[in-house]
Amino acid sequence: MDFIDESRIYVKAGDGGNGCCSFRREKYVPKGGPDGGDGGKGGDVIIEASSRIRTLLDQRYHPHYKAQRGQHGKGKNCTGRSGKDLVIRVPVGTVVRDLQTGELVADLVREGQSAVLARGGAGGRGNARFATPTMQAPRYCESGKPGEERDYILDLKLLADVGLVGFPNAGKSTLISKVSSARPKIADYPFTTLTPNLGMVRWKGSDFVMADIPGIIEGAHEGIGLGLKFLRHIERTRVIVYVIDLSPLSQRNPQEEFTILRRELESYSPELVARKQIVVLNKCDVPGALERAKDAVAFINDKGYPCVIASALTGEGIDAVLDDIIKDLNE
Query: For the segment 216-275, what is each residue's pLDDT rounded down to a tens digit?
Result: 755 444 444 444 556 777 788 889 899 988 888 777 888 888 888 888 888 888 788 788
- The residues near 324 (Cβ < 8 Å, ≥ 6 apart) are 278, 306, 308
Cα dihedral 264/270/272/275 (nearest 10): 130
Degrees to nearest 5, angle at CA 154 with 114 and 215: 125
Integer Cα distance of 93 and 57 in angstroms: 15
Name the CATH code of domain 162-330 (choices 3.40.50.300, 1.10.10.2520, 3.20.20.80, 3.30.1360.40): 3.40.50.300
- Mapped onto helix, strand or coil, the DSSP state of residue 234 is helix
Q: Judge whether residue 192 has pLDDT over 80.
A: no
Q: What are the residue ranges of CATH 2.70.210.12 in the chain?
A: 6-156
Q: What global pTM score does this model have?
A: 0.73
Residue 241, φ and ψ in degrees, nearest 5: -115, 115
* β-strand pairing of 114-118 with 45-50: antiparallel
pLDDT category, 194, cuts 50, 70, 90?
Answer: low
Cβ contact 60:111 at 8 Å: no
Rounded average pLDDT over 17-21 = 95
How far lies 32's CA from each of 35, 38, 140, 190, 286, in Å? 9, 18, 16, 82, 96
CA-based R_g, the chain, Å = 29
Q: What are the residue ranges of CATH 3.40.50.300 in the chain?
A: 162-330
CATH superfamily of 6-156: GTP1/OBG domain (2.70.210.12)
